[in-house]
Amino acid sequence: MATADMTTDATPQVDCPSAEELRRLARGHLTDARQAVLTAHLDRCPGCQGRLDEIAADGDKLFTGCMKKLCEPPAPKDSAFWDAMSEVEAEVTGTTPSDMAGNTSANLSDLKLDFLQPTDTPGRIGRLGAFDVIRVVGRGGMGVVLAAFDESLQREVAIKVLDPQLKSNDTAQHRFCREARAAAKVSHDNIVTVYQVSEEEAAGLPYLVMQLVNGETLEDRLRRIGKLSIEEAVRVAMQAALGLAAAHEHLLIHRDIKPANILIDAATNKVKLTDFGLARAAEDLKLTRTGFVAGTPLYMAPEQARGDGVDPRSDLFSLGSVMYESLAGKPPFEGKTPLVVLRRLTDETHEPLHKLNPEVPDWLEDVIDKLLEKNPDHRYQTATELANELTVHYACLKPATMDKVEACPMTQVRSWRSLVRSRSQRKFVSLLAGTFLLGSVAGATGMYFLRPRGGASSEVALAVPDLGPAELNQTDNLKAGAVWSLSPSPDGKFVAAGMEDGTIKLWNLNGGGVSDLGKHDGSVWSVNFTPDGNRVVSASGDGTVQVWNVTSMMMEKGINNRIPVRSAAMNADQTSIVTGDATGMVKIWDIESMGPLLPGGVPDKPRQEFVHRGTISAVAFSPDGTMVASGSANKTAILWDVKTGKAVQRLIGHEGPIYSLAFSPEGDRLATVSWDHSIRIWDTKNGDLVKKIENAHEEGVWSVSYSCCGKILASAGQEGLVKVWDIDNTEKPIRVYSRHKGTVHAVHFTAKGTQLITGGRDGTIRLWKVRD
């Protein structure tokens, strides 16, 4: 399977920015995505580089220093500089990584804190900028980590300061600047959040202000208990894979995944990846010309050890090494010296995991073996692919308690797999069992095809499903990856689904099958039937919004946004579409001005644009069309006045990214859900929080929907549960459904409010009975 070249600059050409926008770029006031676009433009435009240098020289010392270092040409290959660099690298990477969990593993005896300013606050050791420093947490290869208190926001934070001993070290300064840029690019619940980047002016030391994770590193946990249980090992790996998927989506490769860089929150057990100090934006090769290997040998990928090019699959090898150690109690490749380790991981095969831990199930050993393949082409090709598989298995390891009537398919397979250890034998038995099963199903139910619709695709009839007590119908696995979005037609006859592989599926609920309505070149994050039920609006990671005719099965119109669109919706009178994209932009488009979607070319122009920082995961029109709501990865929702284009309410309170939102039928309430496990209901007139359901789900909440009466709410969670709530009494849900195998990404009431449709990572759509 081919892997996308992470070094390719796919950023669209843009006009030279204004002086004001360059100032905002220099001060860090742009959205992450807009910053990435302008940075790519600067690489190609010497004129704007000069303008930016002048702006930066006006007073932003940290930015000026970083820009100078990033633009310096590398020394010649035969320069003595590289010998000195090797010595510096050995010194820098020889220290133990910082431990944000509170255990100082490095030697702090020679650490001087004279860069801290005096403080009058009792119990504090000094002051750095606006922060009172509480204690030293740890010391790593690049810097010192301090625990501090942010007085303005009343919260504890972690501050990573460039180690004062490395202040005069150009390589260290260069890497620290790089870490600031890399870490600030990604916002995800499984990555330590970077709040700001600043500089201690007196000492000239740059520092990052980050989320403080109270807990321990995976390294500490393994040192304390030896190895993890099967369930915990899968959970840790699953969440780490989700964090890597977010980083890779931003073209960032971590390069140093190891137990010390995996933090585990004590309160929630949530995994956080940290220390992107060795991560580099894959499209920028300036730092890779040095010729030295970056990373930790015990967990390094073979191509990384050889000094060859790396890509996201290198991080997956490292994660596989971490998984192996979590279950075996030791890394897959060990040696007395780093050179011995490097030779073993490039030339030898690891010891079979089941010999060290017989409790490891075969499927998990197969996952780890695949991650540890020497050839990257033989590994999982994306972190998302790995996360998907682990999520399905994790749901079986940790079954829910309600409506779960079927046996886990993984344990059903275990009975015959446990008899066969060799991989070749397993493949033969799998083929034999699959052939037998297919013949049995075909003979028992009969499989048939209906006539193609619209000349485009075939409608495949569904086998008789195995339904739970409250389940009315379901699809088979649609073989198109995860279901990311769903929309029922107003007449209740069809369900549209947006799929991971870019297809839009149309499920006929009146005894029909599933058809392909259309296809994008990227995952379909959002689908919505138009109010008249004749069309479906889809939004995709390919940067387009498309309008499909349900009768002709053809695309009628399209919008070329050029930037991934995470959500789109149409207003009630069907004159406008609102979109939210990965750059934090909320845009309103006129339907009449939309034409056929043309490949390439310049982006289409919206009627209005609103700036909401962070990736926009959800947008919606109010029922009367006067307001637009947007929910962002920056943990806020905003209500916009469509007529004036102004933000009328900013809804602040969530502690994680907002994934979904929904207006009540009357439009007087807005429900928002977040990765912080909560559901919040807001008054749209004054912005007040009127209801909060803490810990509505054990993990993040992906989707929310109002019933037509406005008194019932449905939510879907990362743990695989769908819950129905009586808004007047939210002490506990009135219904819980749990037959999905893995995360449920989408939930939606049908028009009459008597049924629910759900879809998720297992690739199925399910129809549930809520009430008669």
Task: For 349-400, write each residue's pLDDT tens digit.
Answer: 999 999 999 999 999 999 999 999 999 999 999 998 898 888 878 866 754 3
Domain limit, last residue, from 15, 39, 59: 59
Taking the C-alpha atoms of residue 283 and residue 252, their distance in angstroms, rounded to an integer, is 9
The type of residue at 68 is: K
Pick from 29-33, 196-200, 750-754: least confident = 29-33
Query: Would you state the pLDDT for residue 13?
Result: 53
Highest mean pLDDT among 42-46, 280-284, 331-335, 352-356: 352-356
Query: Would you state the pLDDT for residue 284?
Result: 32
Above 80 in pLDDT, residue 106? no
* 670 shares its domain with 712: yes
Taking the C-alpha atoms of residue 506 and residue 238, their distance in angstroms, rounded to an integer, is 30
> How high is the mean pLDDT of the chain?
76
The two tokens of residue 412 are 């059903």
Pick from 7-16, 441-450, 499-508, 707-716: least confident = 441-450
Above 90 in pLDDT, residue 210? no
* DSSP per-residue letters across 592-636: TT-B---SSSSPPPPSEEEE-SS-EEEEEE-TTSSEEEEEETTSE
* 704 shares its domain with 623: yes
Query: Would you state the pLDDT for residue 620?
Result: 96
**Using 50, 70 and 90 to split pLDDT, how confident is the model at 659?**
very high
> Locate tokens 């602040």: which residue?
652
Query: Would you state the pLDDT for residue 171?
Result: 63
Query: Would you state the pLDDT for residue 59?
Result: 42
Taking the C-alpha atoms of residue 672 and residue 636, their distance in angstroms, rounded to an integer, is 9
Q: Judge residue 699's burial from the number of C-beta atoms within 10 Å of its C-beta, 0-12 exposed, 13-18 middle, 19 or more buried.
A: buried
**Using 50, 70 and 90 to split pLDDT, how confident is the model at 63?**
very low
CA distances from 676 to 188, 288, 580, 654, 700 (A): 11, 37, 21, 7, 6
Domain of residue 631 covers: 471-491+563-769
Query: Would you state the pLDDT for residue 266?
Result: 83
Above 60 in pLDDT, residue 292? no
Taking the C-alpha atoms of residue 734 and residue 724, their distance in angstroms, rounded to an integer, is 6
In a domain, 204, yes or no: yes
Above 50 in pLDDT, residue 444? no
**Using 50, 70 and 90 to split pLDDT, how confident is the model at 441?**
very low
> Locate tokens 């501050």: which residue?
159
Above 90 in pLDDT, residue 488? yes
Query: Would you state the pLDDT for residue 269?
Result: 83
Question: What residues pair up with 516 in beta bridges, in sequence order?
Answer: 505
Above 80 in pLDDT, residue 134? yes
* 589 shares its domain with 680: yes
Whether 160 has a binding-site annotation, put simply, is yes
Above 60 in pLDDT, residue 422? no
- For the annotated catalytic residues, the residue numbers are 256
Query: Would you state the pLDDT for residue 96?
Result: 32
The two tokens of residue 330 are 């030791």
* 46 shares its domain with 151: no
* 247 shares its domain with 288: yes
Pick from 44-53, 176-185, 315-324, 501-510: least confident = 44-53
Domain limit, last residue, from 373, 397, 421: 397
Taking the C-alpha atoms of residue 726 and residue 711, their distance in angstroms, rounded to an integer, is 6
In a domain, 76, yes or no: no
**Using 50, 70 and 90 to split pLDDT, how confident is the model at 742?**
confident
**Using 50, 70 and 90 to split pLDDT, how confident is the model at 44?**
low
The pLDDT of 85-113, averaged and rounded, is 44
Query: Would you state the pLDDT for residue 76?
Result: 54
Sheet holding 744-749, edge to edge: 471-474, 765-769, 755-760, 744-749
Above 60 in pLDDT, residue 289? no
Pick from 50-59, 65-74, 218-227, 365-374: least confident = 65-74
CA distances from 412 to 409, 416, 417, 418, 507 (A): 5, 8, 9, 11, 29
Query: Would you state the pLDDT for residue 457?
Result: 31
3-state secondary structure 458-521: CCECCCCCCCCCCEEEECCCCCCCCEEEEEECCCCCEEEEEECCCEEEEEECCCCCEEEEEECC
Domain limit, last residue, from 212, 234, 262: 212
Above 50 in pLDDT, residue 440? no
In a domain, 459, yes or no: no
* 206 shares its domain with 269: no
- Percent of the chain exceeding pLDDT 70 equals 70
* 202 shares its domain with 229: no
Above 80 in pLDDT, residue 10? no
Above 50 in pLDDT, residue 467? no
- In CATH, what number is assigned to the domain containing residue 616? 2.130.10.10
The type of residue at 739 is: R
* 485 shares its domain with 577: yes
* 634 shares its domain with 485: yes
Query: Would you state the pLDDT for residue 598?
Result: 55
Query: Would you state the pLDDT for residue 129?
Result: 83
Taking the C-alpha atoms of residue 227 and residue 576, their distance in angstroms, rounded to an integer, is 56
Above 60 in pLDDT, residue 101? no
Note the helical H segments in 373-488.
Answer: 383-397, 409-417, 423-445
Kindly report the backbone phi and psi dihedral angles of residue 32, in degrees, each rounded to the nearest multiple of 5, phi listed first. -60, -45
* 241 shares its domain with 152: no
**Using 50, 70 and 90 to split pLDDT, how confident is the model at 642?**
very high
Query: Would you state the pLDDT for residue 468?
Result: 43
Highest mean pLDDT among 593-597, 713-717, 750-754: 713-717
* 625 shares its domain with 477: yes
- In CATH, what number is assigned to the domain containing residue 249? 1.10.510.10
Above 90 in pLDDT, residue 221? yes
Above 90 in pLDDT, residue 114? no
Dihedral, CA of residue 54, residue 60, residue 65 and residue 70, to nearest 10 = -70
Question: What residues pair up with 683 in beta bridges, in sequence order?
Answer: 669
**Using 50, 70 and 90 to split pLDDT, how confident is the model at 150?**
confident
Domain count, the chain: 4
DSSP state of 398: S
For the chain, what's the residue count? 772
Above 60 in pLDDT, residue 402? no
**Using 50, 70 and 90 to split pLDDT, how confident is the model at 208?**
confident
* 633 shares its domain with 751: yes
In a domain, 757, yes or no: yes
CA distances from 632 to 402, 561, 651, 675, 716 (A): 32, 18, 11, 11, 18
Query: Would you state the pLDDT for residue 155?
Result: 81
- Percent of the chain exceeding pLDDT 90 equals 35
In a domain, 611, yes or no: yes
Above 60 in pLDDT, residue 70? no
Helices (H) then strands (E): counts for the chain = 16, 39
Confirm if 366 and 336 have CB atoms less than 8 A apart: no
The two tokens of residue 131 are 């922060």
In a domain, 516, yes or no: no
The two tokens of residue 462 are 């569904």
Above 90 in pLDDT, residue 526? yes
In a domain, 194, yes or no: yes
Above 80 in pLDDT, residue 330? yes
Above 70 in pLDDT, residue 212? yes
For 531-577, write each residue's pLDDT tens digit: 999 999 999 988 899 999 998 889 988 998 888 899 999 999 999 99
In a domain, 74, yes or no: no
Confirm if 244 and 344 have CB atoms less than 8 A apart: no
**Using 50, 70 and 90 to split pLDDT, how confident is the model at 445?**
very low
